[in-house]
Chains A and B, each alone.
Chain A
Amino acid sequence: MVKNRIYGLLEDIVGSDNVSNEPQALQCYSCDSTTNLPSLPDYAVIATTVEQIQRLVRLANRERIPITPVVGMSNTGGLTIPVEGGIILDLHKMNRIIEINEDIGYAIVEPGVTIGQIDVELKKRGYWVSLPVGPPGSAGLLPGYILHGYGHLGGKFGINSEQITGMEVVLPDGELVRLGGCAVSPYWFHRTPLPDLMGLILGWQGSTGIVTKLGINIYPRPRFKTMVGWGVFTTHGDPLPESCARFLINLGRADLTYDVSGHTWGAVQIGRGLKHPLPPKPEEEPELFFSATTYAFTEEELDVKKKVLENLVKEGIDSGLPIASTDVTERVKVEMPTRYALKYSDHRGGGGLDYIGSITPVINWPQGIKRLNEVFDKYGFTPYIRLSIYRGTLQGMMRAIMPYNRGNENDVEAVRKMARETVQVILDCGGLIYKAPSFACEEMWQRGDPNFLKLIREIKHTLDPNEIMNPGRLGL
């Protein structure tokens, strides 16, 4: 190990046990499961206090060293790959749940708190939060909130960033600031009515500051759960007619569901553990599987909700839509965090996972799914498309998931191309990419209002004139 001047300064801040520039340490932080190219940091640093983070950021600013925060190492967008080197700042040891305020309905967590950790703690008290769907329980909770991720209660409460009530942030100059009501009140209960400065942090992919505390809404945890399932019996070339998209919108508007999600036939088979290549879809099986999930505090409430949902599906069937009820007995048993979800990574025998997620108007899902199917078909991949409706029901997540074999160069190259073509499809549908890799941001900026991009650049420059914070993000 070569200890240079910077290394010594880092040791002074976090102690010698919490700094490394050994190649084996750096390589572990250079990659994720996506097809994004690896890039080595120069130093790996573990911080355990807010003060350490402030000192590290000031050092990075003084020395013009990039700094990239990371938590659970489960990112699937290449967003924590330190593309310009510098310091990788591992925050997973800052994992305290600082407060759970049941009277006002919020929790305050440090950045290293995981999805599973908060769920276990809240379950003891009869509460829960909207848990990011898809990542393992060991994934960080905070990134799924500040990056506008989707949660398992999204059908009722909206995307996760809408659940944020307050935050504490180390700005790129090392200053510590509170955003939201907690800037004035002792309670971290609401982000307004003060000027909502969280927009300076949310969705910026760690390029404008490091969130050191996050306040989020907690909700009473219902005791009972039920699901209603239905299949869409169409064709691969036209999987979701507009009439079925309108049916989804109406179902969501019934205001009974916590989640309305859909999967392509191939996605369901992969979820069942089937390996590539899949057999042809039997004619009698649907192109798309949908389910509506609801919860209740009493069995009576559950019965009523289930009956209303079943009636809505029946009305859809009776009206001539190409849908029929499906059995969701097994799915209803699945609890969050969804550990099983990662099994799809085994589909092509090799651990890789890339995806392009979006928020897209539901009414445009029909053309989107049709074209995404074509992209998957073109490269010989099983169409794995996941759909979920957000609160308000007019827009939702349309996500193309691409499990691939990390050891197969053909797979890697195909997925890189698929990801780029998926971005085009989503943008053509009026959608927006979330947790967007840089190439996807560049596509959005090309199509977008140039003054929006100009404003983003100016804000970034104002907050981070030395461009030390997670550089290379957002296509800036």
Chain B
Amino acid sequence: MKAAWLEEYREALHLCRLCGNCRQCGSNYMPCCPAGERFGFDEYYSRGRAVIAQNLLDDKLTWSQAVADIIYKCTMCGACVEQCPVAYKDYILKVFEALKEECVERSLMPPNVKKFFENVVFALGKGFSIKF
């Protein structure tokens, strides 16, 4: 399946400088990424997500539940956007959104996330629906 959502950001992904500045807050240099701080590996930081997204687009990495679990660990808080010193900052959250959209397209949304959305739909009532 072609990654149509992500494909839109193929050029933008090259803008990531791979500098790792997304890891720390630029005023006090405390950790700023919730997922990165919790899980530690580079794949959880914006830098690593750019590498993952690029490799998914280039078919060097296969879409899988494990990949989706990492993608969904991002809280979309945007702290990395605040720290990014280059033009990639304008695309970071869009790339994250596209990654999640691709997971939905492939039915790779993590079960706990899916359950959460099902509960939201249930709470909102019959008039609402979300396609997973």
Q: Which residues of A contact B (CB under 8 A)?
A: 1, 17-18, 20, 22-25, 27-33, 44, 46, 72-74, 90, 92-93, 114, 116-117, 119-120, 135-139, 339-340, 342-343, 345-346, 349-353, 405-407
Contacts and interface: CB of A to CB of B under 8 A. Distances in A.
A134 to B, nearest CB: 10
Given A20-B41, A119-B29, 15 more contacts: A17-B40, A25-B42, A28-B41, A31-B51, A32-B18, A73-B18, A117-B29, A137-B24, A138-B21, A138-B24, A138-B83, A342-B17, A345-B19, A350-B15, A351-B16
A405 B14 CA distance: 7
Contacts of B42: 25, 28-29, 44, 73, 90
Given A33-B18, A136-B20, A137-B26, A343 B40 contact: no
Given A46-B40, A137-B29, A27 B52 contact: yes
Given A1-B66, A114-B24, A117-B24, A33 B11 contact: no
Contacts of B48: 28
Interface string B37-62: 00111110001100110010000111
15 contacts: A22-B66, A23-B62, A27-B51, A72-B23, A73-B23, A90-B40, A114-B29, A116-B24, A119-B29, A138-B29, A339-B85, A342-B17, A342-B86, A351-B15, A407-B14
Contacts of A20: 41
A92 B61 CA distance: 25
Contact of B88 (A32, A139, A351): A351
Give the 4 A-B CB pairs with smallest separation, nearest first.
Answer: A116-B29, A407-B14, A28-B48, A28-B42
Contacts of A22: 43, 66
A22 B39 CA distance: 14
A301 B128 CA distance: 71
B52 A28 contact: yes
A28 B47 contact: yes
B81 interface: no
Contact of A24 (B14, B70, B85, B88): B70
Interface of B: 10-11, 13-24, 26, 28-29, 39-43, 47-48, 51-52, 55, 60-62, 66-67, 70, 83, 85-88
A136 B48 CA distance: 17
Nearest to A23: B61
A339 B47 contact: no
B65 to A, nearest CB: 11
Contacts of B19: 33, 73-74, 135-136, 138-139, 342, 345
Contacts of A342: 17, 19, 21, 85-86
Contacts of A137: 21, 24, 26, 29
B23 A138 contact: yes
A31 B17 contact: no
Contact of B41 (A25, A117, A406): A25
Contacts of B67: 24
B20 to A, nearest CB: 4
B52 to A, nearest CB: 5
Given A116-B26, A136-B21, A350-B15, A25 B88 contact: no
B15 A349 contact: yes
Max count, chain B CB within 10 A of own CB: residue among A23, A93, A349: A23
B87 to A, nearest CB: 5
Contacts of A90: 40-42
A345 B14 contact: no
B16 to A, nearest CB: 5
A351 B17 contact: yes
A152 to B, nearest CB: 16
Contacts of B52: 24, 27-28
A90 B41 CA distance: 8
A22 B20 CA distance: 20
A137 B11 CA distance: 26
A22 to B, nearest CB: 6
Contacts of B83: 138
A365 B31 CA distance: 41
A206 B61 CA distance: 29
A343 B61 contact: no
Contacts of B51: 27-28, 30-31
